[in-house]
Amino acid sequence: MAICAGSEKCRADIEAKLIQWGLDAGERIKIIEQLVREKFIDEERYAVAFARDKFRQNKWGRIKISAMLRMKGLGEDVIRKGLNALEENLYAETLKKLIASQKKQVRAVNNYELRGKLIRFAVSKGFETDLVYDAVNELINDNSD
């Protein structure tokens, strides 16, 4: 309970900790069920907190966040609720700022190479390709006028 009270945890996090402590499967199931019953573990709350934290602090996009939540064993509906917690305007603005910041650091001989490097960077951060293409093209076209 103390671990869950300190920060949001999902079932997988607690399961890993209990395995590390050497508890058998029956004890682990009993403990996790009690934590869920008493709302120490709430996967929807976890998904929302995880998505917001990774977006704000690490500047991750929805694709990377959803992949990490899947690795934690969360269901698609829970993941969707976590991703829906991200504000659309802030999401698009963050992507543009991230690309603009990266553009200052990238060395490219022409706009084609620059565009490719910026797209690869933003996609590797987990942003959707259509949003990345639009943001990169907008940035490069605004600067080439």
Domain boundaries, the chain: 1-41, 42-86, 88-144
Mean pLDDT of 79-108: 95
Sign of CA dihedral 105, 66, 62, 119: positive
Q: What is the pLDDT of residues 109-121, one digit of tens each?
A: 998 999 999 999 9
pLDDT band at 131 (very low <50, low <70, confident <90, very high): very high
State the CB neighbour count (10 A cutoff) for residue 122.
Answer: 24
Give the C-alpha separation, 127 to 61, whole Å: 4
Residues in CB range of 64: below 8 A, 6 or more apart = 54, 125, 126
CATH (one of 3.40.50, 3.30.70, 1.10.10, 1.10.3470) for 42-86: 1.10.10
Q: Is the pTM of this model over 0.75?
A: yes
Q: What is the pLDDT of residues 28-55, one digit of tens each?
A: 999 999 999 998 889 999 999 999 999 9
State the CB neighbour count (10 A cutoff) for residue 93.
Answer: 12
